[in-house]
Chain A
Amino acid sequence: MLDEIRRRLGDAVAHEAVCGDDVLTVSAEGMPAALKMLREEFAFNLLADLFGMDYSRAGNPPERRFAVVYQLVNLAGRRRLRLKAFLPEAKPEIESAAGIWKAADWLEREAFDLYGIVFLNHPNLKRILLPEGYEGHPLRKDYPMQGHGERDAFPKYTTQTPLGDLLKERLA
């Protein structure tokens, strides 16, 4: 089955077995078509997981800094497949998979929130775990563990001032 998939995806796809798991590296442009094909023709009907990676400390050049990883499961055939697309630092953009799997909606929002990866044509691309108006993407390697002092800069709540006004002031 894997050979058939590789034949259909063409020569641009690199295959490696990482710790015994099949991983296919697909270009960002080719990813939507590859996902669609895997779902419709090879019955990989479950998008088990989708997340971002930052390879800037692993010696990757800036044009391969970020990656999006897709974990697919073929429920009937009990097979798993991992797909990976590298994205450049300057423009980390990839087509959304929310039209193929509904699960991609929240997972892509999370990758956007924590890594700043932009999913084109996503129905509702906004932060999901962090508050709106937050600056930076904390899972990037250049984001410090201690943060940028958000905790100290967070507006203090007093009984006199409604919290909403303080937040508005800070975000203005």
Chain B
Amino acid sequence: MSLTLEPAEDGSKAVVLNFGPQHPATHGTLRNVLHLDGETILKVEPEIGFLHTGFEKLGEHLTWQQYVTVTDRMNYFSPISNNVAWALSVEKLMGIEVTKRCAAYRVLLCEQSRIADHILSVGLQAMDLGAFSVFLYAFEERERFYDLWEMASGARFTPSITRIGGMMREIPDGFLDATSRVLDGIPKTLDEIERLLDRNRIFQKRTIGVGKLSREDAISYAVTGPLLRACGEEYDVRRAFPYLNYDQYEFEVPTHAEGDVFARYRQRMLEIRESISICRQAIASMPGGEMNVNDPRVTLPKKADVYQKMESMIAHFKLLMEGHGIRPPAGEAYVPTEAPNGEMGFYVGSDGTDKPCRVRVRPPSFINYASFPRMVEGKMIADAVSCLGSLNVIAGELDR
């Protein structure tokens, strides 16, 4: 049994219902203690931390280059956005500007992960409401992106594809063509999902007007990403604080006014279409030249040079030996990025050694989830399930 009933401690008529941590609709390990009067939710006490792994503490014991592997594990839906956010913060600390080719490649990968994340979260949201076929369509599309990331990095789930000052490797042959082919197939799937959901009366009844969040509340809770834009606030980090030459791409920032679960679903669908357009622009305008910056502080020398030249071999050792490696100057830096779930960034502190002295993640899932009680208090139990699905909470990032 995943749900248990207990009488309230104060002897009132309210019933206490443990929603999670093992309920399928709680997306990982979340627990919500619901105080109920009949089917109406009087009060919600979210309890989190089941997946707390100490990622921020771990950052103080790994080198700058190693930590990128941990960022993957924070968000298993769209790991590449986290990789890029980490690299950007460290590069800002060191005053490095990546090459044009690297920036365009990162944009391409970030938008791929946004499409994969949004399409899967729409699928999961629909599955929570009983529309299982949408989940299968969405999952199939996500698999295609995993194939692409496997091609680019060798790993499907944990690409760890960025390095400080560049990427782990050049764009593999045929990657851009394969991406184009995957992108060509997505609009058809989106149309199919829309045909299944948009005018589906059951889906409409369970989402329209459910889990409403006003624009003022959303800002007060610091909700960001598609959830904030579904409340009518046009805040997109790519537009407001451009990074990686995002200001050179043409794209719309769609918004909705309603702020309910249905608006969040529509918001994600529109954003996927914008991301497809950004991906196409990045492919069409992919600059040539070097992928990694020409900076001996961060970039490994070419392998052939390591075997042939004394200086290159020394540089190689200096970057890889324990206690040497990348050493950003003392200071603190933060770069906000637009991850699929909202503003995400790493606040990094350096004391001039080869390991960070502070790694702080700005976790969109954690901050977005804090508004959950506001959305469902006074509503029905079934609304809580629908609402939780629309938040797209990633437990790895929620608990870190």
Q: A-facing mask of B348-361, CB < 8 A → 1, else 0?
A: 01010000011010
Q: Is the CB of A19 within 8 A of B331?
A: yes
Check A138/B57 contact, CB under 8 A, given A47-B222, A101-B222, A130-B49: yes
Contact indicator A129/B400 (Cβ below 8 Å): yes
Contacts of A80 in B (CB 8 A): 241, 336
Of B49, B333, B343, B370, the residue contacting A105 (CB under 8 A) is B370
State the Cβ distance, B186 to closest chain A Cβ, in Å: 31
Q: Flag whether B92 is at the interface (Cβ < 8 A).
A: yes
Contact digits for A108-129, partner B, Cβ 8 Å, 1 yes 0 no: 0010001000000000000111
With A48-B343, A106-B370 as contacts: A128 and B48 at CB distance below 8 Å: yes
Q: Is A41 an interface residue (CB 8 A)?
A: no
B221 touches A75 (CB 8 A): no
Q: Does A45 contact B (CB under 8 A)?
A: yes
Central interface residue in A45, A49, A105, A138, by most chain B CB within 10 Å: A49
Known: A18-B331, A138-B54. A58 touches B233 (CB 8 A): no
* Interface residue? B321 (CB, 8 A): no
Q: Give the residue of A19, A69, A129 whose beta carbon is less than 8 angstroms from that of B52.
A: A129
Choose from B52, B220, B233, B235 the contact partner of A102 (Cβ within 8 Å): B220
Known contacts A58-B351, A102-B370, A129-B399; is A75 also within 8 Å of B219 by CB? Answer: yes
Interface of A is mostly: mixed
B247 within 8 A of A: no
B332 touches A19 (CB 8 A): yes
A139 touches B (CB below 8 Å): yes
CB neighbors of B among A25-66 (8 A): 45-49, 51, 53-54, 57-58
Chain B interface category by residue count: 35 or more
Q: Tell me the smallest distance from the CB of B399 to a CB of chain A, in Å.
A: 6
A160 to B318 alpha-carbon distance, docked (Å): 57
Contact with A along B29-66 (1 / 0, CB 8 A): 00000000000000000001100101011101100000
- A103 and B222 contact, Cβ closer than 8 Å, known pairs A58-B357, A129-B400: yes
Instruction: Find chain A residues with CB under 8 A from B343 CB.
Output: 48
Interface residues of A in 72-89 (CB under 8 A from B): 73, 75, 78, 80, 82
* Structural contact, B370 and A129, CB atoms closer than 8 A: no
Nearest Cβ distance between residue A171 and chain B, in whole angstroms? 17
Interface assignment of B5: CB less than 8 Å from any CB of chain A: no
- Report chain B residues within 8 Å CB of A129: 48-49, 52, 399-400
How many angstroms from the CA of A80 to the CA of B61 in the assembled complex? 30
Q: What separation, in Å, do the CA atoms of A55 and B385 have in the docked complex?
A: 42
Is B246 engaged at the interface, CB distance under 8 Å to the other chain?
A: no
Q: What is the distance, in angstroms, from B29's C-beta to the closest C-beta of chain A?
A: 12
Partner of B347, one of A47, A49, A73: A49
**Does A107 sit within 8 A of B, measured CB to CB?**
yes
- Against B, the Cβ 8 Å flags (1 = close, 0 = not) of A128-171 are 11110000001100010100000000000000000000000000
Beta-carbon nearest neighbor of A84 in chain B: B332
Interface-centre pick from A20, A71, A110, A114 (highest chain B CB count, 10 A)? A71
Residues 268-279 of chain B, each 1 if its beta carbon lies under 8 Å from chain A, else 0: 000000000000
Can you list 16 A-B contacts with CB-CB less than 8 angstroms, sorted by A residue number? A19-B331, A20-B92, A45-B219, A48-B224, A48-B343, A51-B347, A78-B240, A78-B241, A102-B220, A103-B220, A106-B366, A107-B367, A110-B366, A138-B57, A139-B56, A145-B57
Top 6 A-B residue pairs of the complex, sorted by shortest distance between their CB atoms: A103-B222, A129-B49, A106-B370, A19-B333, A102-B220, A78-B240
